[in-house]
Amino acid sequence: MTGTPDPLLSVRGLRKEFLTGSSGGLKKRRRILAVDDISFDIGVGETLGLVGESGCGKTTTGRLILRLVEPTAGSVTFDGTDILSLPPAEMRALRRRMQIVFQDPFGSLNPRMTVGELIVEPLVVHGVGDPVTRERKLRDLLDRVGLSIWQAGRFPHEMSGGQRQRVCIARALALAPALLVLDEAVSALDVSVQAQTLNLLSDLRRDLGLTYLFISHDLGVVHHISDRVAVMYLGQIVEIGARRAIFEAPAHPYTQALLNSVPSARKGRKSFFTIEGDVPSPANPPPGCRFHTRCPIAVAQCRTDPPRLRALADGREVSCHLAKAPPKGASP
């Protein structure tokens, strides 16, 4: 099963439907199944990478876990507590232990506050410490994320994209959380700054024992940071397992297609394996296997019969009628 002994986070049957379009207008309201029955665990100190193409439901999953949007169905258990049944006050207290960092470090920082004010704001909001201890905490946080104390007086627009992302990480760390949801946290950064930020995230995980849900569309970055990886397609997890299993011998045809689509500076070849077509609209997902419209090996059963996530011999789980455990030592 999806089970990890003693998980910090446990997600079961999570589902989110959005209704779009105006009610009562001429346009029909559309029902978008953004997240469709997903389940996974993250162990203490573990990093789960969540990959998939845009619109497949990664961000919605991250927000559901923090209860920034209310799920349509399913359960989220954080450190033994079922968070969906928590009353608002207790949810607020629990939120100190789960934090999120977004892609756009500009959009999520108030331009009129200094870096120092931004970093201690969560402490102020949650009434943690006094001005003296907050000042000490600020120095510690700046130091942890590789910023200098003189930068505390700066405004976000005076900093580079990488520095702003450090500010966001420091802010997220202020309340000493156990779980960080990182939603495309390094995706907008230039490669040299992205490498610095990934190193920082690795150090923080080691030094503070943090647990990450690392959301990204960049397979190289996910490979670099994750212990386990979940691959999403049209709101569902199609494959989940240990990093090595997923990257060295992907079992789902979609995982294989994703990995084959990435050109690598070290491979340097001049041809591109592709799968055909676009991702179908989540307002009108195909019947049967969601991937069958693009799948190179689909059979008749795939068009009618939705596959369920099942475990293969090596422990990974995959949702495909035809997937088999790859022979030991095989690679794509």
Partner 1 sequence: MPSTDQPPTLSAPPPLLDVEGLSVSFGSLNILNGVSFRLAPGETLGIVGESGSGKSMTALALMRLLPRGGRVTATRLQLAGEDILSASESRLESLRGARMGMIFQEPMTALNPVLTVGEQIAETARRHLNVSRAESRNRAIEALRRVGIPSPEQRIDDYPHHMSGGMRQRVMIAMALICQPQLLIADEPTTALDVTIQAQILDLMLDLQDEYHMGIIFISHDLGVVSAFTDRVMIMYLGQVLEEATANDIFTHPRHPYTEALLASIPELEGEPTRLNAIRGTVPPIHDLPPGCRFAPRCDHMRPVCETARPMLIPVGADHSAACIRNTDYRFP
Ligand X SMILES: Nc1ncnc2c1ncn2[C@@H]1O[C@H](COP(=O)(O)OP(=O)(O)O)[C@@H](O)[C@H]1O
Point out which residues bind Mg ion (CB under 5 A).
Answer: 59
Q: Which of 34, 152, 180, 240 binds ligand X (CB under 6 A)?
A: 34
Q: Which of 153, 209, 220, 296 binds partner 1 (CB under 8 A)?
A: 220
- Residue 276, interface with partner 1 (CB under 8 A)? yes
- Please, which of residues 236-295 interact with ligand X by CB under 6 A? 282
Residue 253's binding partner out of ligand SF4, Mg ion, ligand X, none, with CB under 5 to 8 Å set by partner kind: ligand SF4
- The binding site for ligand SF4 (CB under 6 A) comprises 253, 289, 291-292, 295, 297-298, 302, 307, 320-322
Q: Which of 56, 182, 221, 240 binds ligand X (CB under 6 A)?
A: 56
Examine residue 179 and tell whether it contacts ligand X (CB under 6 A): no
How many whole angstroms separate alpha carbon 144 and alpha carbon 328?
A: 41
- Residue 194 binds partner 1, judged by CB under 8 A: yes
Please tell me the distance from the alpha carbon of residue 69 to that of residue 280, in angstroms, as a whole number: 24
| Shortest reach from residue 303's CB to ligand SF4, in Å | 8
Q: Which is nearer to Mg ion, 47 or 59 (CB)?
A: 59
Q: How far is residue 94's CA from residue 67's CA, in Å, rounded to a whole number?
A: 11
Q: Is the Cβ of residue 71 or residue 235 nearer to ligand SF4 in the bound state? A: 235
Helices (H), the chain: 58-65, 88-95, 115-125, 131-144, 161-173, 191-208, 219-225, 243-248, 253-261
Partner residues linked to 318 by β-bridges: 239, 310
- By CB under 6 A, tell whether 74 contacts ligand X: no
Q: What is d(CA 250, CA 252) in angstroms, rounded to the nearest whole number?
A: 6
Asked if 79 contacts 97 with a C-beta cutoff of 8 angstroms, the reply is: yes
List all residues 6 or more positions away from 72 whose beta carbon is below 8 Å from its beta carbon. 15, 16, 17
Residue 161 buriedness (CB in 10 A; 0-12 / 13-18 / 19+): middle
Partner interacting with residue 60 (select from ligand X, Mg ion, ligand SF4, none; CB below 5-8 Å by kind): ligand X
Give the footprint of ligand X on this chain (CB under 6 A).
18, 20, 32, 34, 52, 54-60, 282
